[in-house]
Amino acid sequence: MTDVNTTPAPVTIPDVSELTLEEKASLTCGASFWYTKPIERAGVPAIMVTDGPHGLRKQREGGDHLGIGDSVPATCFPPAVGLGSSWDVDLVHRVGEALGVETSIENVAVLLGPGINIKRSPLCGRNFEYLSEDPIVSGVLGAAIVRGIQSQGVGTSLKHFAANNQEDDRMRSSSDVDPRPLREIYLRGFQRVVEDAQPWTVMCSYNRINGVYASEDPWLLTQVLRDEWGFEGLVISDWGAVNERVPGLAAGMDLEMPSSNGVTDAQIVTAVQDGSLDEGVLDTAAGRVLDLVRKATDGAGGVAGPLDVDAHHALAREAAGRSIVLLKNEGQVLPLAKDATLAVIGEFAGKPRYQGAGSSMINPTRLDTALDGIRELATGEVVYARGFSNAVDVAADETAALRDEAVAAASGADVAVVFLGLPARLESEGYDRDDIDLPAEQLALLEAVLEVNPKTVVVLSNGGVVALPFADRVPAILEAWLLGQAGGGATADVLFGDVNPSAKLTETIPQRLEDTPAFLDFPGEFSHVRYGEGLFVGYRWYDARRMEVAFPFGHGLSYTTFAYGDASAAVDANGDVEVTVAVTNTGDRAGREVVQVYTSLPGGTVQRPVRELKAFASVALEPGETQVVTLTVRRKDLAYWDIRLDAWVVEGGEYVVDVAASSRDIRSSVGVAVEGDPIVLPLSRTSSIGEVMAHPVVGSMVQAAIAQMMSGMDGVADIMPEGVDASKMMESFPIGRAGMFALGDSDGAINPEMIDGLIAMANAPQQG
């Protein structure tokens, strides 16, 4: 198949009413791997979409039909696992703008990203493409990426919608998740991005959700996405995610990708003709495709080339430096003195792993190595030893020789810098990891180096968290993730202190895989995976269980120090909570602090985590400088999903607001009273006596009747242990069965007629 490479001049896109049935159906499926279908008769051009999300992966002309071969050079920015660790909305927005520029220059209409799925388990092979284990971080930063990209006149595709948290059996597995975690954890980030940034498209995922394919789920794609959240764009399928096309179209899945070679177009036409599909449904979907084409043609040519490769590489280096988390720095081993004698050890130093495998692989415009970056900045001697091989099969004698060479280098150096990480084959789109361990030969190498040089720095290269059994013995550790094409130079910047590290973890690093929340329910069985941990994902799990972790969510050190003042909190006119705290740089160098706000409601009526992140800010401070930081906790983010009402509810009460440097490092706490949403539940015979007594209309009558009934139950008090409140025992008893306790037919006794009357009175519309 030959792709239609169009660079459309401004055109007038027709209304859907001007198209034939067959033309409308054709619009709802791709023309090829990357293009939508044109309709030449009506002047509708094809538009191109292509992979992201941390760089443009545009297939070259004549590339393979599967779309996985050679792509045009583009800037490979840090993948989400790194960029998210910056916690910096402005930086993320600027990276988004750069992505939009490159997308526009290459005449691509939609960049397929960002991915904001929750990191439910560290084993997910695609975690490097996702931002966090927390929905607020994912939502806020995801919205920043979308706004940045779309500011350049091109679109985004928010993915993968939804509850797509593993690669194992991803084409059919059902994510079986209860309503509260589904809403509060797995959908909340998507909701934030849709409501705040309106991505041009949302990409539905491969998996099923509670048994229903995402691509044909009207509850997900229409009721939630459009009716509740107000999504205005187009729903596109992940490539090959369509199960049944006609039900999918009716559910709200507008554009199938890639091409079905006309098969599903014909199915849609037949369904309209035989009356099993309302033509209005097709008109709506085709109209959304036309709207997307209209946006794309309006924005076409908005950015003139050629690409400023140097400027974008510089931004990639800045972003990479801001993505590196300083986990540990005992004895101020870092930053390194530039005149020190250094032993640089590890294959990753000379041959970086800078991105993950799969559909997001970018052909970089250039590629820095950490070894070159270190040598460029150092004035002292730098000795390099490969240390280990990432090849699949390495002979024992070669492994021993590489280790001996590294030990010799380390023994003669002031500091050994050891680069460890996961080989590319161990984490990728399409399959999950088996464990969270670093390769055994790397751990053995580190032990050997530590024996001859305890002044050792570990630099990690990994797309998902790894266990760190050496954390108590290595004085300094940098979690460098996957950093994109400029990560090598950025790593050198941080090692020598030209960049002061400011990144913080957006996911917990556990002690063991067995400690992780989803350990017993991952990856499921027989195409079902039970989300048995419920709300307690990531730090919510570890903090609730008071479990030791290697490094907590939100943790990250600096080469300077920060002091926090006493926080204050107040509810503003919109019902949001404004939190204010003074932060001071108490060290001798400029730095950034990520200020985090967590909330809790002690004594609340529903199960909640110990604390939940609700707001954050990245603050730059000069030495000795103090800034008063104001963070807004949105009222809607305090809400829980009430399964009785099937709606969001803010519970009233005295909330605790923790201002923190991590989920385990609370610097200041303050209480704030929040008014709750009024809740009036409909009553029925199965409503508990306690619920009925609390009802604003009939509660007082029921309380009086219960009191009279209890007074007539002679002898009950005599057989109860002292202090036992019999009426309290009855609060959970269904009101429909309360009549069994009534004695005789005394006036006011609870009986079936009285119960039915109370229920009718309670449920009757109340006069304003």
Torsion of Cα atoms, 93 then 94 then 95 then 96, to 10°: 50
Residue 583 β-bridge partners: 564, 627
Amino acid found at 438: L
Contact 364, 539 (CB under 8 A): no
With tokens 């789109």, the residue in question is 429
- The 3-state DSSP class for residue 386 equals coil
CB-based burial, 581-600: b 16+ in 10 Å, e otherwise: bebbbebeeebbbbbbbbbe
Contact 356, 427 (CB under 8 A): yes
Q: What is the DSSP string of 73-133?
A: -B--PPPHHHHGGG--HHHHHHHHHHHHHHHHHTT-SEEE--B------TT-TTGGG---S
CA dist 23 and 486 (Å) reads 46
* Cα end-to-end span (Å), the chain: 66
CA dist 331 and 474 (Å) reads 11
Residue 238: active-site member? yes
- The 3-state DSSP class for residue 480 equals coil
CB atoms within 10 A of CB 340: 16
Torsion of Cα atoms, 542 then 548 then 549 then 550, to 10°: 170
Side-chain-side CA neighbours of 18 within 13 Å: the count stands at 11
Helical ranges in 253-302 per DSSP H = 263-273, 279-299
With tokens 């059994």, the residue in question is 469
Sheet strands (E) in 258-371: 325-329, 342-345
Residue 627 β-bridge partners: 583
List 134, 169, 176, 238, catalytic entry: 238
With tokens 């399409």, the residue in question is 430
Q: What is the DSSP string of 394-442?
A: --HHHHHHHHHHHHHHHHTSSEEEEEEE--GGGSBTTB--S-SPPPHHH
**Active site residue ranges:** 238
